[in-house]
Amino acid sequence: MFFETLLFVLFFIFVSMAFKRYRKVRLLERIPGPPALPLLGNTLELLGSRKQLLQTLINFSKHGNGIARIYLGLKPYVLLSKCRSVEGLLTSNVLIEKGRLYDFMRPWLGISLLTSTGKTWKSRRRLLTPSFHFKILEDFVEVFNHQALRLVDKLQSRVGDAPFNVCPLVELCSLDIIMETAMGVDINAQNDEECNYLKAVHGMSDLIMKRHFAPWLHSDIGLKLSRLGKKHSELLSALHAMSLGAIKTRRTAYNKLKAEKDSNKDIQTDGGKKRLVFLDILLETSEQPDRPLSDENIRAEVDTFIFAGHESVATTINFALFLLGCHPQIQTRVVQELHEVLGEGDVTITSAALRGMTFLEACIKEALRLFPPFPFLSRRLHQPAVTDGYQLPEGTDIIIMVYCIHRDPEQFPDPDNFNPDRFLGAEAAKRHPFSFIPFSAGPRNCIGKKFGMMEMKVVLAHLLRTFEVTCRQTVDELGLRKELTLRPEHGVMITLQRRG
């Protein structure tokens, strides 16, 4: 009787799961999509290079008018590539769970603002929002200037040289900025062109993408048994060593200064000016009995901010240099605006001056439109939803095709053309509010978007006031590559001349 009962229970569970999957697939098969193989789905088509991956997903999205369906193994994904299709999802206060890709980021970034959901995400968002108050951001402009001028000094020796890849130098500058503003430490990465941390970031990004599109690596056991398991552990050790070192350094300074001061709300920097940094808020909160943060919580948030705070900004600056280097007439307009706002001679750019750089900001936004640092966003449905008239069952992963949304000719005529005027005047006002989402949108939009825009404007302003930038590459020659961010596989090759 026991075995008969057990077999009946197992059979009942199997039938229930099969019926649930049948109902789910029946709903999803109503959505247009490419043919899929049994068991493998569309996996084989996604196993090429990162450059091929980007184009393959774009081609998949064209099967429907804004919505398409694919399978990765037995796992269904729905691709949304029109602004009207993503509005309901991005504005929802309920459908905020990130997709499967973020599961593979958790060994590195932990349960952080980027990877968490539900009550954990909401409490972290409330906790961290004060870190990006405009008064705090204004204090950071000093750091932006200092590190941007370091980059300018590094590039002086490149004037008149043959074309060189500017991407590694910009990335080191951005890393210096995020470490000093968010962690309170100056690691002088710009004098370490063999930076092991950045090598580890690139290696982990590549590994996460390989894991995402290889169903046999989805489980932790599958990863450990594969040839990538050892590499994954080594990369994690290198990445966590960087963040834990920054936490240790700042905690020592924080405890020393707290003992010397009556208030712990402002931390004294070496230069004598009070500046509250992101890590200070985490350290303060870890001591509050009602809202404690463990050391692991702090490490997760630190790793997230170091990665997200330097990678996307550096990528955008590099693409902006590519576009401006290819369009000298637009670069001239930027320089004219900088002269009008800043005047002549050496200057320190202020937050007030940044507000006057409207055309430079339009150029940055157009770079973000053409080359969004995160070309795809993802969500996982923990309850059924309806999009474009299609029923999407619980458990479906959604891929928001930011790259395609930004190139929708209905919203951006001649979408492949670099035209910063799209973001000025009436033309910008008449577009759909979800046609431009480089920082996502709705409740899970990027908390650091103002920080990033200010940083990009300061760095680009210093570079363009000092150098005339020329680039002869085409978009095809960049070799767009989908890692965790969109990267130019062959770099951005520029030449520099000093401005008179």
Round to whole Å and give the CA distance between 427 and 304.
35
Q: By three-state DSSP, how is residue 179 classified?
A: helix
Residue 479 Rama label (left phi>0; alpha psi -120 to 50; beta):
left
How many helical (H) and strand (E) elements, i.e. helices and strands, does the chain have? 19, 11
CB atoms within 10 A of CB 225: 12
**Residue-wise DSSP of 61-111:** HTTTTSEEEEEETTEEEEEE-SHHHHHHHHH-SS---B-GGGGGGHHHH-S
Round to whole Å and give the CA distance between 215 and 230.
19
Is residue 446 annotated as involved in ligand binding?
Answer: yes
Q: By three-state DSSP, how is residue 240 classified?
A: helix
State how far the alpha carbon of 480 is from the alpha carbons of 39, 199, 409, 474, 484, in Å. 30, 19, 21, 11, 12
Beta bridge partners of 67: 80
Angle, in degrees to the nearest 10, between helices 449-466 and 358-370? 110
Annotated binding site for heme, which residues? Answer: 446
Annotated binding site, which residues? Answer: 446
